[in-house]
Amino acid sequence: MSFTEKEFLQAKHRLEEAQARNRVKERSVRTHRLIQEGAILEKAMPQVRQMSLEQLEGYLCSLLK
């Protein structure tokens, strides 16, 4: 393996690692946002705490129709 091939492979791996870190960061930001939105929903509509996910989905869909 030549020096240039080795450099290319290293650069490719660095790029892949950076992309993986970005995906983890994006997932973390999404998770945080979803938790905050759920907390706001529970605060605004305390009755949803006792609902299953299917019931909650049906309830919200019926409100939005």
Neighbours of 48 (CB within 10 A): 15
Q: What is the pLDDT of residue 3?
A: 80
Q: What is the pLDDT of residue 16?
A: 98
The SS3 of residue 51 is coil
In angstroms, the Cα distances linking 24 to 7, 39, 58 are 26, 23, 31
Query: Does the global pTM surpass 0.75?
Result: no
Tokens of 58: 């049906």
pLDDT in tens, 38-50: 999 999 999 999 9
Neighbours of 63 (CB within 10 A): 8
Contact 65, 58 (CB under 8 A): no
pLDDT in tens, 6-44: 999 999 999 999 999 999 999 999 999 999 999 999 999
